[in-house]
Amino acid sequence: MNGTAIAEGLFRAAPEPTLIGGRDRASGRQVFPCPTDRERWEPVDLPRRGTLWSWTIQRFRPKSPPYTGPEDFAPFALGYVELPGATIVESRLVDVDFDALRIGMAMELRLVPFTRNAQGDDILLYAFAPVKEG
């Protein structure tokens, strides 16, 4: 997907979408996003697949500021996805009917358009969607 990331250093789009986490050089603990202290934190690619740990539905437009999303707000799913051997990531959940969401369902990373900048380019978010079997 072409576009500009909503923030630098959260993810890489190519060759496939990948979240960039941080590994504590002393303990090995992984977090997301990667902290800026490069002496302590080493950037690492996080797994692209995980399982839905918890979720909720955002049914009303958040206060602005800080919310800067589209004016044509629509409810969306928000969840925590556990990435095996790494960390748990908060994320939008896409391409799923709200009633189909289940704790433990297999999820995979996607990049999705959030809004457009003044030049008309897509501003991209990371999100997770159910793994499509087959």
Q: Residue 95: what pLDDT?
A: 96
The token duo for 13 is: 């789009």
What is the per-residue pLDDT across 114-127, written as a single tens digit (0 to 9) for each?
888 888 888 899 99
pTM, entire model = 0.88
Q: Which domain holds residue 53?
A: 4-130
> Which residue, among 61, 48, 104, 45, has the nearest Cα to 80 in the 3D structure?
104
Q: What is the pLDDT of residues 35-49, one digit of tens each?
A: 999 999 999 999 999
- The DSSP bridge pattern shows strands 122-130 and 88-93 to be parallel
* CA–CA dist 114, 98 (Å, integer): 19
Mean pLDDT of all residues in 53-69: 81
**How many structural domains is the chain composed of?**
1
